[in-house]
């Protein structure tokens, strides 16, 4: 090396630093790639993505060739700096120490930290280009990489660890998937994002959360006077009506309004003929998740279920439309006798809501944070809080939300005012 000029040696040192920086930036960019976006690009036929995916399928080989090249170049850089130090300053221990500090600083700044920061910031731009270089390098250095990995695999077996393709196949949890949807808000319309988030809730929400309570169910008594029975059926706001015999717990079937109309056209209306066109009731256990119930509706070809508790007592009614509304939001169609909604905004900024309003709906519509683990309605939450029937005009704060009780009727909170915070 004595015949080589100092300028050439300095150029060689700079080249070594650049090559070391390449291996550092390639390693970081490869490991920082979004695996799901990478899979998508592979499916679209992106060549760089395909090579990167092949390298990442065996991380032990990828890291082997990267670290092998990086360490060899760093060792060569250290040896070259040592030689240059001896050439300039002789065999001085102080000069050698200063030379070691200089090369360490240069490697740290120009070959490690700076390239790694760039690689972590722009992983796709760099990794796909680096894959074209690393792939042939791996083929050339494969015997050495294979030999080194023999010891690596032995060490991993000692600790009962496995390195291979499966280590990259990590599954997303439900919460991680929810976070991905939230972070993808810039690429998804707000309505689509809301629907996807609602789908995640189907696994945790139950039929108890969305059912029509028994007290609000619209049903008819088959034992009633025929004229009264005919009138109630004809003026019903629903196409499917539960029919009971004397007691509301004694549901004998579900009447489809179309069957009732056909019955009136063909022959004289009678209770016996009505029983013949009833569809057997479909009962749903209390606590069934909405996702499970939607699958049950599909398998059993049902659209309405009667929710019962562990003792067989009727709790309420749930329909397929109720579950769909949990996903897409409330439908705009309303019955002729329906009101404009269970809430009304006031000029002072408060909101009047019914006591029977579901806590889930209030949280979703007004951004409140009422707990969902206990009572399902605002009335139930208020009664649980007071452990008594409150008086109208009583004000309180539930879950950091100021409210005022407006009306009490039949031991039930009928209307409540949500006050501005």
Q: Is residue 406 part of a domain?
A: yes
Q: Is residue 212 part of a domain?
A: yes
Q: What is the pLDDT of residues 136-167, one digit of tens each?
A: 999 999 999 999 888 888 888 888 876 655 44
The whole model's pTM is what?
A: 0.63
User: Does residue 42 carry a pLDDT above 90?
Assistant: yes
Strand order in the sheet with 247-256: 220-221, 240-245, 247-256
Q: Is residue 301 part of a domain?
A: yes
356 and 320 inside one domain:
no
pLDDT attached to residue 336: 42
CATH assignment of the domain containing 322: 3.10.580.10
Q: Is residue 394 part of a domain?
A: yes
The range of the structural domain enclosing residue 393 comes to 343-418
Strand order in the sheet with 212-213: 212-213, 314-319, 304-308, 283-285
Q: Is residue 173 part of a domain?
A: no
Cα end-to-end span (Å), the chain: 80
Q: By C-alpha distance, which of 57, 58, 76, 79 is closest to 68? A: 76
Structure tokens that stand for 93 in this block: 């221990």
Instruction: Please tell me which residue, 265 or 233, carries the higher pLDDT value.
Output: 233
Structure tokens that stand for 287 in this block: 């606590």
Q: Is residue 180 part of a domain?
A: no
Q: By C-alpha distance, which of 387, 363, 388, 366 is closest to 377? A: 363
Structure tokens that stand for 171 in this block: 């599954």
Q: What distance in Å separates the CA atoms of residue 264 and residue 236, rounded to the nearest whole number? A: 16
Q: What distance in Å separates the CA atoms of residue 169 and residue 87, rounded to the nearest whole number? A: 53
Number of H-type helices and E-type strands within the chain: 18, 12
288 and 317 inside one domain:
yes
Where residue 45 falls (left for φ over 0; alpha for ψ -120 to 50; beta otherwise) is left
Q: What is the pLDDT of residues 268-312, one digit of tens each?
A: 667 788 888 889 999 999 989 999 999 999 999 999 999 999 888
14 and 161 inside one domain:
yes
164 and 215 inside one domain:
no
Q: By C-alpha distance, which of 193, 32, 220, 68 is closest to 140? A: 68
Residue 42 Cα distances to 35, 38, 39, angstroms: 10, 6, 5
pLDDT-derived band of residue 338, with 50, 70 and 90 as boundaries?
very low
pLDDT attached to residue 296: 93
pLDDT attached to residue 332: 54
Q: Is residue 410 part of a domain?
A: yes
Q: What distance in Å separates the CA atoms of residue 375 and residue 362, rounded to the nearest whole number? A: 13
User: Does residue 1 carry a pLDDT above 80?
Assistant: no
Number of domains observed in the structure of the chain: 3
Q: What is the pLDDT of residues 52-64, one digit of tens each?
A: 999 998 888 999 9
Kind and range of the H or E run holding 345: strand 343-345
Q: By C-alpha distance, which of 38, 143, 100, 391 is closest to 92? A: 100
Q: Is residue 196 part of a domain?
A: no
């Amino acid at each position: 090396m004595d015949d080589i000029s100092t300028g050439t040696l300095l150029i060689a040192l700079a080249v070594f630093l650049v090559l070391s920086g390449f291996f550092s930036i390639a390693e970081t960019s490869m490991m920082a790639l979004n695996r799901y976006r990478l899979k998508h690009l592979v499916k679209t036929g992106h060549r760089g993505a395909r090579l990167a995916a092949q390298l990442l399928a065996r991380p032990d080989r990828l890291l082997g060739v990267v670290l092998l090249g990086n360490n060899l170049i760093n060792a060569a850089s250290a040896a070259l700096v040592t030689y240059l130090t001896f050439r300039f300053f002789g065999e001085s221990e102080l000069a050698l120490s200063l030379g070691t500090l200089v090369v360490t600083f240069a490697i740290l700044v120009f070959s490690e930290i700076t390239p790694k920061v760039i690689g972590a910031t722009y992983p796709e731009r760099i990794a796909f280009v680096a894959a074209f270089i690393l792939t042939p390098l791996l083929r050339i250095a494969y015997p050495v990489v294979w030999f080194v990995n023999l010891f690596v695999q032995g060490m991993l077996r000692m600790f009962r660890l496995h390195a291979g393709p499966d280590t990259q196949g990590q599954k997303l949890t439900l919460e991680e998937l929810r976070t991905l949807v939230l972070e993808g808000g810039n690429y998804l319309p707000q309505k689509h994002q809301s629907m996807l988030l609602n789908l995640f809730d189907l696994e945790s929400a139950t039929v108890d959360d969305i059912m029509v309570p028994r007290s609000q169910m619209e049903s008819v008594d088959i034992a009633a006077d025929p004229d009264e029975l005919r009138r109630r059926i004809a003026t019903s706001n629903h196409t499917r009506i539960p029919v009971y015999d004397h007691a509301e717990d004694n549901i004998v079937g579900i009447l489809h309004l179309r069957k009732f109309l056909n019955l009136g056209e063909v022959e004289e209306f009678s209770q016996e003929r009505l029983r013949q066109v009833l569809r057997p009731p479909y009962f749903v256990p209390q606590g069934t998740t909405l996702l499970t119930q939607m699958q049950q509706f599909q398998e059993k070809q049902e659209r309405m279920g009667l929710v019962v508790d562990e003792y067989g007592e009727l709790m309420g009614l749930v329909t397929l439309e109720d579950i769909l509304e949990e996903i897409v939001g409330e439908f705009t169609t309303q019955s002729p006798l329906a009101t404009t909604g269970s809430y009304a905004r006031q000029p002072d900024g408060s909101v009047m809501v019914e006591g029977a309003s579901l806590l889930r709906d209030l949280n979703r519509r007004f951004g409140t944070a009422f707990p969902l683990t206990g009572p399902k309605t605002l009335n139930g939450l208020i009664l649980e809080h007071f452990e008594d029937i409150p008086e109208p005009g009583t004000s309180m704060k539930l879950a950091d939300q100021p409210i005022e009780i407006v009306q009490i009727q039949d031991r039930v909170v009928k209307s409540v005012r949500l006050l501005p915070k």
